[in-house]
Structure 1
Amino acid sequence: MSDIKVKICGLSTEDTMEAALEAGADMVGLMFYPKSPRHVSLSQACRLADMARGKAEIVAVTVNMDLDGLSRIKELVAPDTIQFHGSEAPESLAAVKVMHGTAIMKAVAVSEAADLEQAQYYAIVADRILFDAKPPAGADLPGGNGVAYDWALLKGLDLGKPYMLSGGLDPSNVAEAIRVSGVSEVDVSSGVERDKGVKDADLIRAFLAAAKGA
């Protein structure tokens, strides 16, 4: 069996969470961002997190959220990891880590090699870096836009921390993305949806099979 680690992000229903867990997802992402079609309420998130606890790593995905909001998520949902997907500074991540003792993942937007440099600053504080595609001009969402970048940019990258490839992945291209980039961790959201924000259990299963088989 492949040692590729897979995160299914933006899960919002019990049936798709069940599909992700049964198909072997290593990490499941719950989106706390009202502008996103994948946004979940705290009560929804608690139910979904309870399904996943002990079976997969629970990731709370946030965008420029204040400390009060982060504290509520930590207290009620008890995620294993908090993902920062906005313009948060490294100091903010450090503060949350000290306050909550939770693992930290930071998304870094990529379109060219120069964009990888800021990952070095975040890697000092974060436990994991998520390399996502830069959103298209005028996009409302910082991620989950189904946009890809040159996966070869990540080839041979050494941050001293684990990192994930995200952006434009789907069941048909994830094996190629893993081959080209050399990564051992991948993340998907829009690539396993039949409509924007609506996950598809069959696509989730297909993605996990393709990634794990790579």
Structure 2
Amino acid sequence: MSAKVKICGLTTPEAVEAAAAADALGFVFVGASPRAVTPAAAAPLIARARARRPGVLPVGVFQDADDALLEAAVAAGIGAIQLHGQEGPARLAEVRARFGLPVWKAAGVRSAADIRALARDFAHADALLLDARAPEGAAIAGGHGLAFDWRILAGARPAIPWILAGGLAPETVAEAIRVTGATFVDVSSGVEEAPGVKSLAKIAAFLREAGRG
């Protein structure tokens, strides 16, 4: 069983090359993240990714960003916008209307009720990214390497497209796909040697275990 893959938090040409077989590449425009990039830094990475694999989807990851940052990232070449902060349904609709790109809503979940509420409130999102809740007081919403209990998805799978995230790694992704029925998975810290430092070998192993290698 295979799933689409997003490798998130890419910051170097080498990591982009290693992730070339993925379906989506994530670029984090959140200053507090160890994986943060600026639009100026992301632009050549996105261009490199598209030259390597024209069909790849570059995704910009944002946390309560203003329009100026979104605009700069769109100009840098992102093809989808992932909102990973406290943005509500109105902000999601506003972003989609302004930029004309697919908009994903990411949120931390802990229970089936969390998933149902997210699916209800963001029924008009292009996709939902289901992550584990961040630790109390964390400056960033994602990338903590934490997993939620995958069993809560039984009977609570959203009707709209959804992506499984949170604590995935080469050693766990095949089981995660089997247990949850996920057709799209997202990884960041699970393919790193240290926070923000991607392991090319782990990227290759994750893609292989997810059926994309």
Where on the TM-score scale, by shorter chain, does this alignment land: which range? Answer: over 0.9
Superposition misfits of 4+ residues, deviation over 4 angstroms = none
Match for residue 46 of structure 1? 43
Q: Scaled by the length of structure 1, what TM-score is found?
A: 0.93
* 2:19 match: secondary structure: helix
Match for residue 202 of structure 1? 201
Match for residue 189 of structure 1? 188
Alignment of 1:10-89 (within 5 A): 10-21=9-20, 24-53=21-50, 54-74=54-74, 76-89=75-88
Residue 184 of structure 1 and its aligned partner are, at CA, apart by 0.9
Match for residue 212 of structure 1? 211
Cα distance in 1 for partners of 2:190, 2:171 equals 9
Give aligned-pair identity as a percent: 43
Q: Scaled by the length of structure 2, what TM-score is found?
A: 0.93
Deviation larger for 176-185 or 152-161: 152-161
Residues 1:4 and 2:3 are matched in the alignment: yes
Contact 1:3 1:184 in 2 (8 A): yes
Q: How many residues in Structure 1 have an aligned counterpart in Structure 2?
A: 210
Deviation larger for 189-198 or 145-154: 145-154
Residues 1:173 and 2:172 are matched in the alignment: yes
RMSD: 1.6
* 2:41 match: secondary structure: helix
Could you list the per-position Cα deviations for residues 146-180 of structure 1 after superposition, in whole angstroms to 9, with x for gaps in the alignment? Answer: 00111122235443321011001000011111111
* 1:12 match: secondary structure: coil
Gaps (5+ residues) in structure 1?
Answer: none
Residue 122 of structure 1 and its aligned partner are, at CA, apart by 4.3
Gaps (5+ residues) in structure 2?
Answer: none
Residue 138 of structure 1 and its aligned partner are, at CA, apart by 2.6
Could you list the per-position Cα deviations for residues 6-32 of structure 1 after superposition, in whole angstroms to 9, with x for gaps in the alignment? Answer: 0000000000100000xx100000000
